[in-house]
Chain A
């Protein structure tokens, strides 16, 4: 038990070799927060006797109530190593004192974005795995992410008591189980080999296992008698100090980690002073700070900007340059210069103000919340050449949406303010407004939305009542085949004609565009290489892509197939503008288009420039795009979740019947070796997922708990143009909701005849 003051902490912060930034990641209910608490107990913030009961990092009432972590929380720990223990440590160090900045993250898939935000600002990850349940879908997801961010993972097998109490296995079998778990984890990591990170699996994990093995063996003796279980737990608790030691040994210090992470972090040239400052973790260098999330402060409406200092120092009163996510170097867009009011270090439930924070540490800043939505890069006021730190990539996407409105119309300003705060408080939630004027909140899943709505009403709107709509899922519009004929539309003055055809993009191409492998910013040569080699495109054709859309980056494109047309380059901008517009609001239900390639087949234009201006061509391009979409067997795409359920055998029947009823289908069912548990993977349409987990719980008497993660877009086979079909009904519903005419605009409105 070490009592430490803020000053003491601050002192260690300067020893960059003695800092460890790490996050605790795992599948839901594998015991992250509890483990974190025991670590906190070992580092001496809370009293030993309450550890395990009071989750130090679950600061919210609803977190405690539901027993799950919702927001990630950071704690700074202090640990002093003995000289003896450090003998074998080869790395650089400054004395025996160590500072561990720990971030506990949520395990539920709906809150994966919190994990992403936590990983960005840490260098190591403690992967916690339940010894019975083993590596689950979320373990896999977060581990992938950690490796993508070049975070060094260490593995902890938790809940060993379950192994003995529930499964009644003996020591040897248990040992086998652990080994399997670890192997599973290694399999995932093997796919992500990274030369700079080093060979993660062998060097780091096997010693770890041995360490655990040792602890375990001592457990075994006690275990023969069942009532001694409690003592096992106590033997486990000291293991937390072993864990702390292990982190110090095997996790990199910021100065080590930033050497190889700089490539992943910094967007600018890797040889400028900013990159070097990050690489060397230089406290004297220019400030580079990444704000990864905003944390609501106790005074309502304000937020702490929580992030990591990668280089330089941030201090109270410092004027910083805030580069938002849309900042482009050399422009004024999304750029502010403001001063930091206070720098704070965060310790679970309390915050301590410090004078300054040097690189390698996590920090919370006061006074910047009115300029940062979710994340930003901060640097010194004068550092105008600095590029921002790369934006985070989330593993989940906000596919479930609800419309909210206030019960009392005059509360609207409150709602607007509340939504603004909600958008800030969560790295994933998107607050937007629909064409119809409805406010929309989009989240990763039902639970995520539920928490968001609760926060909105209680914390951000002061309890003003809101009405929420049923969850709404956004669809995509696509085509099944090539247009049955070349369609033509005439401009309003009838003097210009555009001929077009639509066809589906090759399989996998839309995903490649989503992932950014193909995009508007590509080198045309590289693009045509990928297109011709992977997707069988003609080399020349690949050079004739006019644009992507919607938003210039979406998974649809316009390709020029014309031969020898006069003035074509003149109308390109207008066609592109019409395409951006049309691909955002498809002809069926004004949903985004996806995976459609529009081919401009021929163009007839008026000889006078004034008669083929934007006014004539933009609306015409939009109409001909709609016409070609309708003639190419349009279809709807619906979002589909990947569901993972873990349940005992007797619950399987219930799971299957619920899945059947909800249009889901199981594609994998395996028994966990050595356990009576089954792992089921299934696809489930997002539309059907509302109320899925409660139905499932009811059908399996609470034994099955699903984890849903957006997986892909699935084409609905029914034809939306055929009245009475399921897709047509869906289209009508969407149109009704959006306040459009219920009847789709007929083809004759878009297509003209010669």
Chain B
């Protein structure tokens, strides 16, 4: 069983301490990506059973601990885990009992606090599950303190909020804050080994709902963003309350006499300024590590860089989707921004160029309601195991199911994406031919009060790369102004069919014809070969048989069979109770499966040899997939009727043999609404063992409404396909060692005493000899300078060796 398609942007990612790895929360696991290649290195799994909500990397204190790569993770399953993420090992697990929504460990930030003896306090934002969920007004969110050293809670609650809020800590670990409705709560946390009652708190007030906050790295400055797009900056907060020495304060004059510009409710700050650029909610705020700039971002997909002293702005536009988090790495030239389209962009810092993208499968978007019937967001390309997903920013994303990463993206409509409330232009249908060489898309512009609607059919041919498609033909309004209901390619031919609710279908062929003038080259393109209709009824579905000899078109309740070459009506089958939503031929057999989607749901299997209904079920079908060769098909059925408002979305996958109305196998799934199914051939590169058996194994892939997917073998009870066969894909760029490193590595390993330290991963050290001696001799600096740096590198290596010995002694 292979799972994939997790959301990378559910929680903020974290950089490792050397800035070369990125820890991304992916569902119940934490995936570690290489910053330089953008590929997954390893995965921390087995610790959590629910969504991981935050990752805190233990910083490197002294240079002696440079090898250490440890992190704390918190999860909704009420546990906190301590990992060695270099070797992907779980070290410690702490039970909290409450779902943890956010965790910060401020004392980690102060260097050296990881030494023995000091307690490690984690501040947790937990959900109080004792209070019933039906009580809307109850305070479900709590902020608690937990001592991770002795695994005991400390003191009582810091505060209670309506919902669990995200915790923010300042860089030096002195302050902690949450945004609670129209207020910011800020605590000052004393240094190590504090008592609970030493923690002091202030509140800062605003008139709008605050959504995020950020602490300045050095100054006593806090910024808050609200849901109207304003950014407030409070200077010098907590001068009275957090003052170390009360006597000193009394000596000065009472600050309340002074004018406090922009401050509400006589808050404990000197002044407050407001900046406004974002038109909607501010999603993140982040002070740069040097404290000169403030980064902010929101729904409109633009990172705004504010110069704090002057308020001047710089922009990084066209990131393509609403932004969620901004994370800075210890390396000042690198940071990353998480977008809500499941992408994490790594930015080269001063210029903010995207150097790499960690791209997950793009999430589904909501179609406008009345057009929902005629949309399929997902198309599978059988041969290479790719899925094509139409995305909100008018693209088709190709995603490798077996490797769980994005392959390419095809821009269907050349238009700048602006996140808006209502979708006016969307890619409605995507179809890919069986061999993957052709693609067709339909994009729809919704008219503004019956003005300017446009349906556009585009044909694409594959380029030289996998999943690289080039536009070949554009057809505006293929069925005048009627909506296109389905789009299908004919297997083995350069032919496609579109059917429309306007009552006609068109067969398109790819052919070459001479250009208008003789000078221009011969042009190739798609053109309409024939048009057909059946009694003027709306045509709701169209499909070719597996060998391409028959075209089946559903005219509401009737199924009509056509000869696609001569465009002659061959036969008609049966009568369903309500209009057919989708048709599919079952493999190479004579049977046809259809389902209807309205109030009287029905799944029917038709025989084309005697033109009659074979069997049917009254189940709410969401998707059907037929294997290409065998006479089997899988059905995704919902457990609730479509009219149900509060449908949970649980569903069942039935695996039928076409001769038998009793399913061969069933599986229950969640989030089935909007899901899809497909048969894929087992990827030979991944599963040599099954290929040698001689059995042509088909795998079934189920993609749920959130675009998370599972690939499994429908023929076997046990899911023996091992997970993570894709691990081999990860580029282990850190593994390579050259020149002196390899020599030094060998030296340490040859020491029999330290044999068991071979697992200790080597942090890639600087290798100055690779660069300092390169270049022409006249351009080289004097040899004395080179020598020092060369020897320094050697010395450093020696130190690391001694570190190993120290660790050894500790153990």
Q: Do A and B bind each other?
A: no
